[in-house]
């Protein structure tokens, strides 16, 4: 791109940072003056079922930090609470800009929104430029030798890492061009000021009590800490009571960190921990490219057509018990309570709880996918759908249908002392390390001794795993015949 513009507008979305930012870099480099804007998009927010939403508060805090950072550099962040599809073309006209810049979003609804914005801007004679920013490789950048998209992770990863070089992870040198930020007059600052959450119809959550750092500074704090223990990641990531993960998923979701910086750091380090974590970043790209080639997944379609119409029993009471963490299986229940209380769930537990819902309770994976979409602070459609279809054996490179997690043995293996369970299911705190994984097996005498009555203080298992496993196998076999 060589064309120079007099005035441009950068539309921030899921890229809430002022460094190593593709759209911002190109706008600053190719414009005399650059305005910046963020829209609290009512097309999304008005659909949210709860007014207390940690995601909205995380975005609000991150936007506040970004606005302050831009002001310190001579610019500003104009903030709107509106329908983005309508507001951005109007704002672009109001500011008399020649071009609007944004980074690409890969969800079908976002693609449709951006196409509408591009069409409206074109009518006004305003250019619309989009860039890759939230992934390392996008769309058709990693294809098989036959020129087809990969449906299996391992060959995709191999091709991805083979293509990876300095070019794809080098930062955008924004510092050279910061002089191009447009000064915003006081009356415009007032018009586009950051409204309180309550004014937008949202309430504060327990985000601060959780001590989850927000914004660019929060992402930096978490990543700096993670780098000091990344060598142990390979093993530590499997144990929910251990500080193993990076805890950066929500920062990746809203772009308060740079995927290039994270990938470059891991790529340049040696050791199994760094390689395993880089693998996780590659999984993220993999799911984005799957969604690019299969946008029908956003309509609830199974990746594997043969599993489209599995006749799940869909017992509403079972689903309610799963949602509330009342299944009688301690690891499952502690994981669901963690989700409900914090908006976060440990990655291994996402697999365990998903497998349990689909293959023990025989509930359609789409029900669980929707519940996670509502609750997860780091919800990202591509990864959430990919994870659920993996667990349900309906997706690309999924678990074979006959591989079914045993919730008790998972508990014994990955929370051996019951530390995680005790945190979220305190009614089992008096159990021994052995008893806590299967409390229904504790004798009535022992229950009396420790002051625990299964069925009163903590539920008995709502299903028997061995029996449900057989029913699940029969269900999957029925569509494979």
Q: Where are the domains of the chain?
A: 1-133, 135-170+216-293, 305-480
DSSP letters of 260-278? HHHHHHHHHS-SHHHHHHH
Task: Specify the pLDDT at position 328.
Answer: 98
pLDDT at 208: 84
CB-CB contact of 248 with 378 (8 Å):
no
Exposure of 189 in the CB half-sphere (CA atoms within 13 A): 12
CATH 3.40.640.10 for the 305-480 domain, yes or no: no
The answer to whether residues 58 and 16 touch, using CB atoms and an 8 Å cutoff, is no
Sign of CA dihedral 467, 473, 479, 481: negative
> What was the pLDDT predicted at 481?
62
**Residue 5 φ/ψ, nearest 5 degrees:** -115, 155
Alpha helices, H only, 242-364: 249-254, 259-268, 272-293, 316-324, 330-342, 347-355
CB atoms within 10 A of CB 402: 12
Nearest to 294 by CA among 389, 374, 378: 389
135-170+216-293 topology per CATH: 1.25.40
Measured in whole angstroms, the distance separating CA 297 from the mean position of its chain's CA atoms is: 16
Q: Which of 339, 304, 307 is nearest to 323 (CA)?
A: 339
Q: In angstroms, what CA-CA distances link 127 with 102, 116, 124, 324? A: 11, 13, 9, 49
pLDDT score at 401: 86
Q: Does 1-133 carry CATH code 3.30.930.10?
A: no
CB 64 within 8 A of CB 38: no
Q: Tell me whether domains 135-170+216-293 and 305-480 share a fold.
A: no
Q: What is the mean pLDDT of each run of 10 residues along the chain (481 residues)?
A: 87 98 98 98 93 96 98 97 97 96 96 98 97 97 95 95 96 95 92 95 90 96 97 95 96 98 95 94 96 94 92 97 98 98 96 97 98 96 96 86 94 97 97 97 96 96 97 92 62
Phi, psi for residue 308 in degrees, rounded to 5: -60, -35
**pLDDT reported for residue 209:** 84
CA atoms within 13 A on the CB side of 237: 19
Q: What is the pLDDT of residue 331?
A: 98
107 C-beta neighbours (distance < 10 Å), count = 17
């Amino acid at each position: 791109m060589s064309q120079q513009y007099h005035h441009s507008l950068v539309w921030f979305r899921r890229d809430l940072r002022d460094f190593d930012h593709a759209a911002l870099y190109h706008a600053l480099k190719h414009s005399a003056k650059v305005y910046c804007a963020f829209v609290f998009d009512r097309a999304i927010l008005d659909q949210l079922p709860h007014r207390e939403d940690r995601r909205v508060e995380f975005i609000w805090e991150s936007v506040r930090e970004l606005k302050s950072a831009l002001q310190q550099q001579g610019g500003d962040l104009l903030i709107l609470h509106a329908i983005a599809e309508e507001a951005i073309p109007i704002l672009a006209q109001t500011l008399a800009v020649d071009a609007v810049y944004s980074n690409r979003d890969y969800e079908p609804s976002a693609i449709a929104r951006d196409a509408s914005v591009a069409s409206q801007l074109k009518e006004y004679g305003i250019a619309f430029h989009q860039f890759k920013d939230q992934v390392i490789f996008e769309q058709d950048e990693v294809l098989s030798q036959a020129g087809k998209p990969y449906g299996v992770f391992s060959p995709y990863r191999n091709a991805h890492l083979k293509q990876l070089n300095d070019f794809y992870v080098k930062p955008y040198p924004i510092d050279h061009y910061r002089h191009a930020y447009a000064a915003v007059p006081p009356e415009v600052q007032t018009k586009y000021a950051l409204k309180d959450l309550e004014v937008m119809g949202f309430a504060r959550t327990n985000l601060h009590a959780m001590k989850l750092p927000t914004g660019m500074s929060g992402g930096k704090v978490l990543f700096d800490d993670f780098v000091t223990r990344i060598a142990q990641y390979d093993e530590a990531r499997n144990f929910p009571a251990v500080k193993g993960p990076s805890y950066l998923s929500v920062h990746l979701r809203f772009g308060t960190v740079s995927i290039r910086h994270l990938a470059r750091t891991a790529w340049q380090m040696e050791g199994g921990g760094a390689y395993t974590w880089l693998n996780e970043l590659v999984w993220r790209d993999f799911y984005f490219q799957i969604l690019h080639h299969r946008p029908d997944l956003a309509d609830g379609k199974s990746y594997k057509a043969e599993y489209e119409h599995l006749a799940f029993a869909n017992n509403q009471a079972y689903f309610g018990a799963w949602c509330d963490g009342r299944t009688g299986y301690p690891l499952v229940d502690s994981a669901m309570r963690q989700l409900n209380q914090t908006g976060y769930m440990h990655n291994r537990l996402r697999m365990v709880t998903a497998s349990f819902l689909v293959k023990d309770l025989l509930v359609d994976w789409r029900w669980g996918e929707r519940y996670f979409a509502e609750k997860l602070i780091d919800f990202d459609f591509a990864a959430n759908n990919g994870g659920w279809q993996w667990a349900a054996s309906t997706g690309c490179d999924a678990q074979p249908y006959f591989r079914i997690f045993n919730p008790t043995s998972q508990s014994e293996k990955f929370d051996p002392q019951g530390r995680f369970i005790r945190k979220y299911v305190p009614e089992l705190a008096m159990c021994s390390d052995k008893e806590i994984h299967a409390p229904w097996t504790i004798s009535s005498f022992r229950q009396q001794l420790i002051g625990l009555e299964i069925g009163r203080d903590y539920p008995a298992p709502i299903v028997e795993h061995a029996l449900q496993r057989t029913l699940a196998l029969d269900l999957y076999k029925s569509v494979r015949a």
